[in-house]
Structure 1
Amino acid sequence: MSIDAFVIGIFFVTIHLLANELIPADRIKRLRWLSFSGGLAVSYVFVYVLPSLHREQHQLKDYASTFTMESELYFIGLLGLLLFYGIENSVSYAQAKGFAEYHAFFWLQVGFFAFYNMLIAYTVMASEIKGVQAVFYGAAIGLHFIAVAHDLWRKDPDRYRKVGRYVLASGIFVGWGIGTSLQLSSVMQSLIFAFISGAMILNVLKNELPKERDAHFPTFAFAIISYTSVTLALKYFFEW
């Protein structure tokens, strides 16, 4: 395991264990934080996730006997989006209606995010990104994890603090271990990436993109322009 993979793994675990201590939800300047993190998240989706998904789909042409369409990975991504939306919608509905079973839905969401974390950690570790690229994409995913952690914390602070955050961190550990010890086939890696891309796209656009009343447009625009400019420059000069 490279030092880069080790540092990223520790970084991801620390985020879930200490998200509210690192960026306290009751003390941050909410409008600017939401706008900045939302801008980075949206930029990450458009300049990295979608192009990477297209590249993975293009590479499946080498497996013409197995995949005959030109949209298999997009279909898998759509399934990830659908599953995430279904779970999120069920939790929100149960919470709004005051169902006694709400906590069961909350744990269902925590369990899904632990699985989601495992797949993301596996993808990052298996890709063996290093150096500046590891820092850059690790920071983007880290901010995404902070948004996820804060969303779950707001829904049920007590349960998230006592148990939920450790469940999410365990997903990182499992994905970290699999990514550094087991090399899956390129097709399986593409399927995993497509699934988490769909879930990530919905999570970013639904939960991380600030609503009009919470938006600070200059901060949002600055985050998008700066992250996109740096990403494109690094891709151009280092052929990421």
Structure 2
Amino acid sequence: MTVLAGTLAVALAGIHVFAGRLRGLSGVPRSVWLSMAGGASVAYVFVHILPELHHRGAVLQRVGNRAFGSLEHHVYLVALLGFTFFYGVEQFARQSQESDEHSEVGGAKTKTKTGAGVFWIHIGSFTAYNALIGYLLVHRERPGVESLLLFATAMALHFVVNDFGLRDHHHEAYDRLGRWMLAVGVVAGWALGSATAVGELAVNTLFAFLAGSVVLNVIKEELPEDRDSRVWSFALGAGAYTAVLLAG
């Protein structure tokens, strides 16, 4: 299982390395495929991760182990923390980008790349995020090959969405360095997960943080007006992956 997880970690890393070569994902209106990938990623959170974590939290409570404390809202509070953290990171990057909009094309301001300091904070946060995903390839909320493949597929689609958004922020700096940092991050997370083990409560907490983060990182790409996103493609992606999850 560890070997399979490692293979999947390398495959996920390859998405960041090679996603820039995919044609037809950039431009306005937003690519149908990106919206579908985002919808599938969010479906995984709401249909698979959160219900499973809530169930496991209830089981831990019934055990009566006081070390776990009250877990009734634990999952959702940590998910909210993940959502809020990446909301702050995204706003930090967007405001920096907007403050540098000096050139105008056809009377409209054009976005510029972010500065070096913003780049390191933004990409550093996502490198840690990818390391978390790599770690959870080994330590999941539900064991088994099927669970691993469903998780890896959802994260692969999510990585495509993230890759597009980060390249839009950082331009050539992302292609030159950022994508490699993210690729290394997911493999490093898998290596750390292979060498260490944590308890069930810790795994639940990490997955909850990931859940909130995934929702924010998908929605932030779909909602801006200048994306001209297609609701139907997002819904189609969410519905299709929901069907896969419920059939599993």
Listed one character per residue, the Cα deviations across residues 141-180 of structure 1 (whole Å, up to 9, x for unaligned) are 1010111111111111211111111111121121100112
Higher share in helix:
1
CA distance in 1, matches of 2:75, 2:144: 26
CA distance in 2, matches of 1:85, 1:158: 24
Change (3 A) 1:57 1:66: closer
- TM-score normalized by the length of structure 2: 0.82
Q: CA deviation at 1:101?
A: 7.6
Aligned to 2:110: none
Aligned to 1:77: 79
Q: Which runs of at least 4 in structure 1 moved beyond 6 Å after TM superposition?
A: none
Q: CA deviation at 1:83?
A: 1.3
The code of the aligned residue for 2:13 comes to: V
CA distance in 2, matches of 1:18, 1:213: 23
CA distance in 2, matches of 1:36, 1:198: 19
Q: In angstroms, what is the RMSD of aligned CA positions? A: 2.7
Change (3 A) 1:180 1:91: same
The code of the aligned residue for 1:164 comes to: G
Aligned to 2:12: 12
* Aligned residues of 2:16 and 2:163 also touching (Cα < 8 A): yes
Listed one character per residue, the Cα deviations across residues 25-47 of structure 1 (whole Å, up to 9, x for unaligned) are 44898431233223212322221
Does residue 96 of structure 1 match 2:102? no
* Aligned residues of 1:9 and 1:173 also touching (Cα < 8 A): yes
CA distance in 1, matches of 2:163, 2:232: 25
Aligned to 2:42: 42
Out of 138-147 and 93-102, give the one that drifted further. Answer: 93-102
Does residue 140 of structure 1 match 2:142? no
Match of 2:200 among 177, 181, 186: 186
Match of 1:174 among 188, 193, 209: 188
Q: CA deviation at 1:210?
A: 7.9
> How many percent of aligned residue pairs carry the same amino acid?
32
- Runs (5+) with no aligned partner, structure 1: 235-240
Q: CA deviation at 1:50?
A: 2.0
- TM-score normalized by the length of structure 1: 0.85
* Aligned residues of 2:29 and 2:227 also touching (Cα < 8 A): no
- Runs (5+) with no aligned partner, structure 2: 102-112
Does residue 124 of structure 1 match 2:137? yes
Change (3 A) 1:130 1:39: same
Tell me the matched-pair count: 234
